[in-house]
Amino acid sequence: MKRQAAVLSALFLLLPAAAPGNWDFPPPKPVEEYGNLLIHRTSEKNNVKSVSFSHWMHRRKHTCRVCHFELEFNMKTNTTEITEEANRSGRYCGACHDGRTLFGHTEPHCGKCHNGDIGYGNLRFNDMWRYPVTKYGNRIDWSAALEEKWVSPARYLTTPPLPDEVNERKLDLDAAWINVPPSLFPHRKHTAWLDCNDCHPNIFNIKKKTTRIEMVKILKGEYCGLCHGSVAFPLTDCKRCHPTMRTPPKYPEPQSR
Amino acid sequence: MVRYSFLVIKNLHGSAIITIKQLRASPLLSKGVCMKKIFTLTFLLLVTPVLLHAQTGVKKRRPLPFEYGRVLISTPNLSPDLPDVQFDHWLHRAKYTCRLCHVDIGFAMKRNATGIKAEDNIKGYYCGTCHNGKMPHGDRAIFKACEKTYTEIELGSRCRRCHSVGEKVRAEYDFASFTGTFPRERFGNGIDWEKTEEAGLVKLVDFIEGISFKRRQIEVPKDFELSTKVESMPEILFSHKKHSKWSGCEGCHPEIFAGVKKGNTKYSMTEIFEGRYCGQCHTTVAFPTTDCQRCHSKPVR
């Protein structure tokens, strides 16, 4: 009885510390399709092909905050009420795709978005062959590309972002597990693309340590995993967040560009 | 034998503080009981933090413009014919000031905190203040809220106008056509209510005979700046004029902001995000806190 209880309690205590890393990930998408998505909230019901949207194509010209703050696009596919009417009155896609700055929501441009092809526009990926390289995702180091001026996306349409100095702090986030080095969070690299409200207070509360972030939850697409795994560099790139990790697990790399 | 006592306290921000105290050995405890206790203790230690941190790091679904400010008021003691009440702020705020309902009539600011009863409505309190079948609105009278008995026809034509959760009810006012001409803004209802009022597109009623009382008006205090804790975060320009037009003085003072003197009430952004202080209205009905720069608007010197 005594021994049994002791063994069981020991197991309970040791479980979280056992086997760090080596998570199961789905096979990586081709580099040209990472961050691409199909929007089909109402299109199929209306006998129109679903809309293909490519993040890499758009993030070269605009930062995340332009669409996900100023233009009020939600972060989850098919949850934003994008309609033909809204687009034509200059909201959502129609803010830029108005027929003057860019092709509009009119004939004969239908097929440019309503094509149901997740790989639409793949050939244009080759334009970016000189951008800084990483191992996963689009195999592009977007942060470095921004710093080295390979891309200079517009940061706003009407509302300028808060000054960069607002939060320059780098957060040292201690890992809950033994053997996992802390994760370094640079605010500056995130505010270069995002608006405060994209993360605060919904995903992360503003005070450090009031939000308990767990890797298991991140893998499910919560916290950091909301963007890192779908658009920003994926979670297979351990060392980019845990820079002092000595032997990061090796995950299959996506098809080379 | 060693005994432990532990205490889990949840602090303001929802994180837990766990204190473990070693108690004096107790001869009364047998070995088996003690092992069980240690086992439950280890188990609880592992499980409680998980339970207390139920908050998840996902982006919340943003309500659609016509859903923003919607309050579902539960009516547990009524017959199953009468489901919960759905109250949309946008229609009422296009006609009345916040002050009229939340000060003069006395609705609380928190859902279900008022405890509205049918009897009270019948007596002419709460909704029944205006919804009494007599109060004129334009060329007709405002429909009656509650009655002791109701017929089958009345149930569909009158009761369900408010008791509409889960029912297929065609609303008399359509959001899109009602607010179509109003100036647009980001988030919330997608409407710049302040500009709408200035342009005269809505005319707000702030006085009901017999309920409201006219006092000599207090001069509206000047706009002031609220400094921020984070360096180079733009300061907040707070306009008393803009707020008092809708809320009067009593909407905020002294209950939400106790000190009428600046600096008396201390609050943080975390508390606002939790729905306290400014967040009382600015997470639910007024434009939401996700629109940082609408308040943090003063350039840093």
Per-chain mean pLDDT for chain B: 83
- Same CATH fold assignment for domains B71-178 and B215-301: yes
Binary contact (A202, B233; C-beta < 8 A): no
**Per-residue pLDDT, A8:** 59
User: Across the interface, which of A5, A165, A204 has its CB nearest the CB of B38?
Assistant: A5
Distance, CA of A100 to CA of A89 (rounded, Å): 13
Contacts of B31 in chain A (CB under 8 A): 2
Q: Kindly give the pairing relationship between strand B3-10 and strand A183-186.
A: unpaired
**Per-residue pLDDT, A23:** 83
**Per-residue pLDDT, B113:** 94
* 75-134 in chain A: CB under 8 A from chain B: 75-76, 79, 81
| Whole-structure pTM value | 0.75
Instruction: Assess B214–A contact: CB distance below 8 Å, yes or no.
Output: no
Instruction: Assess B232–A contact: CB distance below 8 Å, yes or no.
Output: yes
Place of tokens 């996992």: A180
Q: What is the ipTM of this complex?
A: 0.70
Contacts of B32 in chain A (CB under 8 A): 1
B15 pLDDT higher than 50: no
DSSP string, B2-20: -EEEEEEEE-TTS-EEEEE
| Residue with more model confidence, A36 or B81 | A36
Instruction: Assess B10–A contact: CB distance below 8 Å, yes or no.
Output: no
Instruction: Assess B43–A contact: CB distance below 8 Å, yes or no.
Output: yes
B298 pLDDT higher than 90: no
pLDDT > 70 in chain A, percent: 91
Distance from CA of B35 to the nearest CA of A (A): 6
Distance, CA of A36 to CA of A33 (rounded, Å): 5
B279 pLDDT higher than 80: yes
Q: Which of helix, strand or coil describes residue A185?
A: strand
Q: Which of helix, strand or coil describes residue A131?
A: coil
Contacts of B292 in chain A (CB under 8 A): 162, 195-197
Please state, in angstroms and as integers, the Cα–Cα distance from residue A34 to each residue in A40, A48, A256, B85, B179, following that order: 18, 24, 12, 45, 40
- Could you tell me how many helices (H) and strands (E) chain B has, helices first? 11, 9
**Per-residue pLDDT, A206:** 83
Which uninterrupted H or E stretch holds B162? none
Q: Considering the domain delimited by B71-178, tell me its CATH architecture.
A: Alpha-Beta Complex (3.90)
* Cβ contact B41:B13 at 8 Å: no
- Tens of pLDDT, residue by residue over A170-184, are 888 888 888 889 999
Question: Confidence class of residue A207 from pLDDT cuts 50, 70 and 90?
Answer: confident
**Per-residue pLDDT, B26:** 44
pLDDT > 90 in chain B, percent: 55
**Per-residue pLDDT, A175:** 86
Distance, CA of B235 to CA of B238 (rounded, Å): 9
User: Across the interface, which of B59, B187, B293 has its CB nearest the CB of A202?
Assistant: B59
Mean pLDDT over residues B82-97, rounded? 95
Distance, CA of A190 to CA of A4 (rounded, Å): 49
Read off the tokens for A189.
Answer: 């690299």
Closest Cα partner for B56 from A45, A223, A18? A223
Binary contact (A166, B230; C-beta < 8 A): yes
- Chain centroid to CA B261: 25
Binary contact (A72, B32; C-beta < 8 A): no
Going through chain B in order, the beta strands assigned E by DSSP cover 3-10, 16-23, 70-73, 85-88, 136-137, 140-141, 224-226, 235-238, 296-298
User: Across the interface, which of B46, B231, B270 has its CB nearest the CB of A210?
Assistant: B270
Alpha helix segments (H runs only) across chain A: 2-14, 55-58, 64-65, 84-88, 110-113, 142-147, 187-191, 196-199, 215-219, 238-241
- Tens of pLDDT, residue by residue over B113-154, are 999 999 999 999 999 999 999 999 989 999 999 999 889 898
Distance, CA of B9 to CA of A239 (rounded, Å): 36
Please state, in angstroms and as integers, the Cα–Cα distance from residue A184 to each residue in A38, A173, A256, B54, B156, following that order: 33, 6, 28, 25, 60
Class of CATH domain B215-301: alpha beta
Cβ neighbours around A250 below 10 Å, total: 11
Instruction: Assess B14–A contact: CB distance below 8 Å, yes or no.
Output: yes
Cβ neighbours around A91 below 10 Å, total: 17
- Which region among A198-207, A223-232, A248-257, B108-117 has the lowest average model confidence (pLDDT)? A248-257
Read off the tokens for A179.
Answer: 């053997």
Domain positions in chain B are 4-57, 71-178, 215-301
Place of tokens 């009031």: A210
Classify burial at B201, counting beta carbons within 10 Å of its beta carbon; exposed 0-12, middle 13-18, buried 19 or more. Answer: middle
Contacts of B36 in chain A (CB under 8 A): 5
Which uninterrupted H or E stretch holds A52? strand A51-54
pLDDT > 90 in chain A, percent: 64
Which uninterrupted H or E stretch holds A51? strand A51-54
Question: Confidence class of residue B169 from pLDDT cuts 50, 70 and 90?
Answer: confident
User: Across the interface, which of A5, A166, A203 has its CB nearest the CB of B233?
Assistant: A166
Mean pLDDT over residues B30-35, rounded? 53
